[in-house]
């Protein structure tokens, strides 16, 4: 099988030139440097500065060569058609129900098989790193897709800083559990809090990022503010949102959709058009923004990133380990 290469070596198109917006919601407002005493481990001076007000522009964002050459969807597409069950199961529920959610202040807990563990303010967690814009294809298990200009940092940079032990074979993630702020968590559609996981090799891959923005702005609430996982060769449910905990572990972690429906949602969740979901085919997809009656397109193995990631699964039966 021939895989289409999706990497563009030199991105020169600015986000504002791709889909211009009439105006940003507010003038940029930079956070003051957080006190190092609030973190268990002191981090060095900031390389990335995160505004705390939604809609504000992120400064110092570098273009990444690890971007698709496909034009991104519009900001409106990306922020109005979402899966975020913490705010409802409908595609337009998150944009309606997440507007009052306040994602600051925010902290992340690092636990498990690593030398550097503790609880960190989001700003201290992100500050040593340089933000990158990466235009990635995003494929949902329901057979729809988008192309999104995420802004974030390589997860590998975080992992290296916290120095996992040789016993750490997996990285587990957990979403905030707060039904008072996330009304979807009052339902029993999933076991809360939402959990996800990667192998350490997947987590260390250069394509895997923690996103804090899109289209050059602070990440909107409905897209997983203030920080979420992006693994572009996997189905979208692997992209856990509003992360509060990262755990290094020797054992394969439980994941929310695998707990809920193990027959339908495997741990690996690599995009594999040759393996149908039990209730529908995965062979073709509808690109959001092309209209309800637009022709579907063929789904690419590993979402088009096979040249970069297929070697991670050498010798693994991807029909059994789906």
Distance in angstroms (rounded) separating the CA atoms of residues 128 and 246: 18
Query: What architecture is domain 55-269?
Result: Alpha-Beta Complex (3.90)
Rounded to an integer, the average pLDDT of 63-83 is 96
Which among 206, 214, 31, 38 is positioned nearest to 109, based on CA atoms?
Answer: 38
Q: Which residue has the higher pLDDT, 52 or 122?
A: 122
pLDDT band at 292 (very low <50, low <70, confident <90, very high): confident
148 Cβ contact partners less than 8 Å away, ≥ 6 residues apart: 72, 73, 78, 135, 136, 138, 214
159 phi and psi angles, rounded to 5 deg: -60, -45
Predicted local confidence at residue 189, as pLDDT: 96
pTM for the full predicted model: 0.85
Tell me what the mean pLDDT of segment 145-149 comes to.
98
- Dist. CA 87–CA 68, nearest whole Å: 30
pLDDT at 48: 63
Q: Is the Cβ–Cβ distance between 219 and 226 less than 8 Å?
A: yes
Average pLDDT, the chain: 87
DSSP string for residues in 213-253? EETTEEPPGGGTTT-EEE-TTBBGGGS--SEEEEEEESSPP
Closest CA to 233 of 318, 160, 174, 131: 318
Q: Which residue has the higher pLDDT, 167 or 3?
A: 167
Classify strands 284-287 and 144-154 as parallel, antiparallel or unpaired.
Answer: parallel
Strand partners, 156: none
Other CB atoms closer than 10 Å to residue 5's CB: what's the count?
13
Residues 178-211 have pLDDT tens digits of: 999 999 999 999 999 999 999 999 999 999 999 9
Q: Using a pLDDT cut of 90, give the percent of the chain over it.
A: 79
Arithmetic mean of pLDDT, 109-116:
98
Residues 11, 63: Cα–Cα separation, whole Å: 6
Residue 205 and residue 181 in contact, taking contact as beta carbons nearer than 8 Å: no
pLDDT tops 70 at residue 25? no
Which of 316, 228, 321 is CA-nearest to residue 267? 321
User: What pLDDT sits at residue 11?
Assistant: 32
- Is the preceding omega at residue 91 within 30 degrees of 0, hence cis? no
244 φ, ψ (degrees, to nearest 5): -120, -10
Q: Which helix (H) or strand (E) holds 212?
A: strand 209-214
φ, ψ dihedrals at 42, nearest 5°: -75, 135
pLDDT over threshold 80, residue 263: yes
For residues 120 and 117, give the distance between their C-alpha atoms in angstroms, rounded to a whole number. Answer: 9
Give the span between the Cα atoms of 136 and 97, in whole angstroms.
Answer: 26
- What pLDDT score was predicted for residue 55? 79
């Amino acid at each position: 099988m021939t895989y289409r290469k999706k990497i563009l070596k030199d991105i020169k198109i600015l986000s504002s030139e791709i889909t211009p917006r009439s105006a940003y919601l507010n003038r940029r407002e930079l956070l003051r440097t957080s006190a190092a005493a609030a973190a268990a481990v002191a981090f060095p001076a900031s390389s990335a500065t995160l505004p705390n007000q939604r809609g504000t522009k992120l400064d110092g964002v570098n273009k990444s060569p690890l971007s698709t050459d496909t034009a991104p969807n519009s900001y409106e597409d990306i922020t109005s058609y979402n899966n975020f069950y913490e705010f409802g199961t409908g595609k337009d529920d998150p944009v309606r129900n997440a507007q009052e959610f306040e994602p600051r202040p925010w902290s992340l807990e690092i636990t498990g098989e690593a030398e550097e563990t503790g609880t960190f303010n989001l700003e201290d967690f992100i500050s040593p790193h340089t933000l990158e814009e990466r235009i990635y294809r995003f494929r949902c298990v329901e057979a729809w897709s988008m192309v999104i200009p995420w802004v974030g940092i390589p997860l590998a940079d975080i992992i290296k800083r916290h120095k996992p032990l040789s016993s750490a074979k997996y990285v587990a993630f957990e979403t905030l559990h707060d039904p008072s702020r996330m009304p979807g968590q009052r339902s029993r559609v999933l076991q809360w809090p939402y959990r996800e996981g990667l192998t350490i090799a997947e987590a260390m891959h250069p394509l895997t990022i923690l996103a804090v923005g899109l289209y050059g702005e602070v990440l909107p609430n409905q897209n997983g503010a203030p920080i979420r996982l992006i693994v572009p060769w996997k189905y979208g449910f692997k992209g856990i949102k509003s992360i509060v905990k990262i755990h290094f572990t020797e054992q394969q972690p439980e994941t929310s959709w695998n707990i809920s429906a193990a027959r339908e949602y495997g741990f690996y969740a690599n995009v594999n058009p040759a393996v149908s979901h039990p209730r529908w085919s995965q062979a073709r997809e509808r690109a959001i923004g092309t209209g309800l009656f637009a022709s579907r397109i063929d789904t690419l193995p590993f979402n088009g990133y096979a040249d970069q990631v297929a070697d991670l699964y050498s010798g693994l039966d991807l029909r059994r380990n789906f």
